[in-house]
Amino acid sequence: MSRSRVLVVGASGLIGSTVADLLDQRGHEVVRSSRSSGERADLTDPASIEALFERIGPVDAVIAATGSVPFKPLPELGVEDFRAGILDKALGQIALVTLGAPRLRPGASFTLTSGILAQSPVATGAVASAANGAIDAFVRAAATTLPGGARINAVSPTVLAEAEGYHASFPGFVPVPAATVAQAFVRSVEGVETGQVFAV
């Protein structure tokens, strides 16, 4: 395993912090970014993404563990709920790729975060299903055309064991620890696959 310089966006969250810590333990140089700490960036603002890459310089891998969506029954969701959720989770990560791809070192990788609701819906998860499905489809398409031999994958976790407040919304789903999800990000960063959605 060679040492890489890895940007982790969303590093203050549960998944992002677990991934950043694991990559650090594995000898990578980790650049942590979030809206509120580290190298601050807001993925809903293209200028903020461009400023982030200007500040940090070239990296070998980019991880996005970001995005919030409303969880409400479909009859309570308006168009603005979908617009906000898809902007925050899907379009933010897509913008990170499209704006970041020209700035990465040759052979670099992107790893995005989608989720199980793209395939297995729950009663309050319509916005999450739409956003996750968009990310998965984008990854498969982008893998065919990214410049510089770059790779791209997504990690699609089920509900996290640590996120107990969400368990009731996922009846019958088996929660997984964040540490298990983090291993899929290692697979993407250190492996050779591209255009894949790693379900965890």
27-71 pLDDT per residue, tens: 999 999 999 999 999 999 999 999 999 999 999 999 999 999 999
- The DSSP H or E segment spanning 30 is strand 29-33
Using alpha carbons, list the distances in angstroms from residue 26 to 30, 60, 151, 160, 189.
10, 15, 20, 23, 11
Q: What is the pTM of this model?
A: 0.96
Residue 92 has pLDDT above 90, yes or no: yes
* Percentage above 90 pLDDT, the chain: 98
Q: How far is Cα 140 from Cα 130, in angstroms, rounded to an integer?
A: 16
CATH hierarchy code of domain 5-66+86-113+138-199: 3.40.50.720
Q: Indicate if the alpha-carbon torsion angle 135, 141, 145, 149 is positive or negative.
A: positive
* Percentage above 70 pLDDT, the chain: 100
Residue 1 has pLDDT above 60, yes or no: no
Q: For all residues of the chain together, what is the average pLDDT? A: 97
Q: At 17, is the pLDDT very low, low, confident or very high (cuts 50, 70, 90)?
A: very high
Tell me what pLDDT residue 2 has: 73
| Residues 157 and 181: beta-carbon distance below 8 Å | yes
Nearest by Cα to 154 from 127, 108, 116, 125: 116
Residues forming a β-bridge with 113: 155
The beta-strand segments (E) located in 34-157 are 61-64, 109-113, 151-156
Mean pLDDT score, 116-142: 98
Q: At 76, is the pLDDT very low, low, confident or very high (cuts 50, 70, 90)?
A: very high
| Residues 109 and 153: beta-carbon distance below 8 Å | yes
